[in-house]
């Protein structure tokens, strides 16, 4: 039996140099902006931050499930995700993303088994795997109630 879970967010530009995003699974909205080096505001999440957050939070939740299933006791897991963005001929691109999990094991835990579980987590992390999936683009344009006419040059 095939099981499908659908997720959806809505994002819109509110005004000036900031936007807002929300989803049905959380009552809190996220205020975002472009990175400050591209004219965005300080102190707001950027799309780049949100991408890295998706990777790190997916890794942490996937590891928790695998550790529980494997009965691997651990004291703490911290996941750092870093990304490098560079200008390319086609625009800016991520050139590298590094996930650095730091697992603190419980006394008596086999470190090799713990390391294998970290690798298995990286393999199974849905968000990391989604970075290579085909992305469909489905735009639409809705004119205002006033009719639109081209202005002559």
Q: What percent of the chain has pLDDT over 70?
A: 93
pLDDT of residue 148 exceeding 80 = no
pLDDT tens for 6-56 read 889 999 998 888 999 999 999 899 999 999 999 999 999 999 999 999 999
What pTM was estimated for this model as a whole?
A: 0.84
pLDDT tens for 111-129 read 999 999 999 999 999 999 9
Query: How much of the chain is in helix, strand and coil states, percent to nearest 5?
Result: 30, 35, 35
* CB of 23 closer than 8 Å to CB of 10: yes
What Å distances lie between residue 108 and 7, 72, 78, 99, 117, CA to CA? 40, 10, 20, 26, 16
Question: Average pLDDT in the 141-145 region?
Answer: 74
């Amino acid at each position: 039996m095939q099981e499908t879970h659908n997720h959806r967010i809505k994002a819109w530009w509110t005004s000036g140099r900031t936007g807002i995003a929300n989803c049905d699974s959380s009552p809190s909205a996220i205020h975002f902006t472009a990175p400050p080096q591209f004219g965005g505001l300080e102190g707001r999440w950027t799309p780049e931050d949100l991408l890295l957050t998706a990777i790190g939070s997916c890794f942490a939740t996937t590891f928790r499930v695998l550790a529980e299933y494997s009965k691997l006791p651990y004291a703490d897991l911290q996941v750092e995700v870093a990304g490098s963005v560079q200008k390319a001929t086609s625009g800016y691109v991520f050139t590298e993303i590094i996930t650095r999990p730091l697992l603190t094991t419980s006394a008596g835990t086999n470190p090799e088994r713990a390391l294998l579980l970290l690798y298995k987590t990286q393999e199974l992390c849905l968000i990391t795997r989604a970075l290579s999936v085909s992305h469909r683009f489905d735009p639409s344009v809705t004119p205002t109630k006033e009719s639109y006419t081209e202005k002559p040059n």
